[in-house]
């Protein structure tokens, strides 16, 4: 079953097309990473999923219901941490927990207490006296203690040091991962997402370029490094070659291969590079994939603009 199903979703701010014909789904239990450059529409998409914005066109179903018609009971099973989430600074953490507890019938006091210990948070402390990292941990504690079916997080790692990021990722994995809760998070911290996610989507200028399980992504996108024999000659892809972000320095060529057929990539590449003295092929990292997809669509767009001008 899918906890989120989106099809033909479009959204405009005045003359700005923020989302264009977006389609994807999030399977139940997925740790789903939404990637995209600045301004690609991630926050807008999350706001539509939570019902804070109404889609202008398309179908958006969350927990099996239209996102603007979610019942109170369904909303109680969704936690959302917004970008730059602010908590009431004048409250102590224990007051915030006491405020939230009756709003969520599934609130789990034992889980709240264990997360407090694990994150090293003092419940008697005023929130405004906490550092940004501690406040984000407090926000995650509150989001997880209600045992959500679906957790939506917008840039949870922004401005956090490596230790805090690590704590947040482990806390999330231990709770959501082991309990099978569904999580959708967007972040520019690709390294953290690589540790967390088992599904990934890539949004670019309001269009969904890719949405797949990480296993499928790893099977499809390969990082290739080739060393050529003899003097350097410029290498360029032939028609039908799906090479992304090609870089060449002398007789060394590297790129991300979008490999979609059943033939092993090494065999296809041997045909393309008969003069190779060395051919290294490995799964592309999410960072390499992010850069490759973003540059592919940038260059396609510039080519389109050149044709139209």
**Binding residues for ligand ATP (CB under 6 A):** 13, 16, 18, 36, 38-44
> Distance between CA 3 and CA 257 in Å, rounded?
32
Q: Nearer to ligand ATP by C-beta: 157 or 273?
A: 157
DSSP state of 102: G
- What's the min distance (Å) between Cβ of 286 and ligand ATP? 16
Phi then psi for 132, rounded to 5 degrees?
Answer: -60, -40
Q: Nearer to ligand ATP by C-beta: 136 or 228?
A: 136
Tokens 């003069």 found at: 275
Identify the CA nearest to 157 among candidates 190, 126, 127.
190
- What's the min distance (Å) between Cβ of 49 and ligand ATP? 12
124 three-class SS: coil
Q: Give the angle subtended at the CA of 249 by the CAs of 243 and 250, to the nearest 5°.
A: 115
| CA dihedral of residues 132, 136, 142, 146 (deg, nearest 10) | 170
- What's the min distance (Å) between Cβ of 235 and ligand ATP? 34
Q: Nearer to ligand ATP by C-beta: 53 or 165?
A: 53
Q: Nearer to ligand ATP by C-beta: 15 or 238?
A: 15
- What's the min distance (Å) between Cβ of 155 and ligand ATP? 7
Q: Nearer to ligand ATP by C-beta: 49 or 70?
A: 49
Residue 160 contacts residue 127 (beta carbons within 8 Å): no
- What's the min distance (Å) between Cβ of 184 and ligand ATP? 13
Tokens 């979703």 found at: 9
Structure tokens at 183: 């999580």
């Amino acid at each position: 079953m899918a906890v989120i199903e989106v099809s033909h979703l479009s959204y405009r701010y005045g003359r700005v097309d923020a989302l264009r014909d977006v389609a994807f789904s999030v399977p139940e239990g997925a740790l789903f990473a939404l990637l995209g450059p600045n301004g690609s529409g991630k926050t807008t998409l999350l706001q539509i999923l939570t019902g804070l914005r109404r889609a202008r066109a398309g179908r958006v179903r969350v927990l099996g219901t239209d996102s603007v018609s979610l019942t109170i009971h369904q909303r109680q099973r969704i936690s959302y941490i917004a970008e730059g989430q602010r908590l009431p600074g004048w409250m102590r953490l224990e007051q915030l927990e006491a405020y939230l507890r009756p709003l969520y019938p599934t609130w789990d006091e034992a889980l709240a207490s264990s997360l407090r210990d694990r994150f090293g948070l003092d419940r008697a402390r005023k929130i405004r006296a906490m550092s940004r990292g501690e406040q984000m941990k407090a926000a995650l504690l509150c989001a997880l203690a209600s045992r959500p079916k679906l957790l939506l997080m917008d840039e949870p790692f922004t401005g956090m040091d490596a230790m805090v990021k690590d704590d947040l990722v482990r806390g999330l994995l231990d709770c959501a991962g082991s309990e099978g809760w569904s999580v959708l998070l967007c972040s520019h911290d690709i390294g953290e997402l690589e540790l967390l996610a088992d599904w990934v989507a890539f949004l670019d200028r309001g269009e969904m370029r890719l949405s797949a399980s990480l296993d499928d992504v790893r099977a499809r996108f390969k990082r290739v490094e080739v060393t050529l024999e003899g003097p350097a000659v410029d290498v360029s892809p032939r028609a039908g070659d799906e090479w992304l972000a090609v870089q060449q320095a002398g007789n060394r060529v590297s790129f991300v291969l979008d490999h979609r057929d059943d033939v092993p990539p090494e065999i296809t590449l041997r045909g393309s590079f008969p003069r190779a003295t060395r051919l290294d092929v490995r799964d592309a990292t999410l960072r390499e994939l992010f850069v490759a997809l973003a540059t592919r669509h940038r260059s396609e767009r510039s080519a389109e603009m050149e044709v139209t001008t």
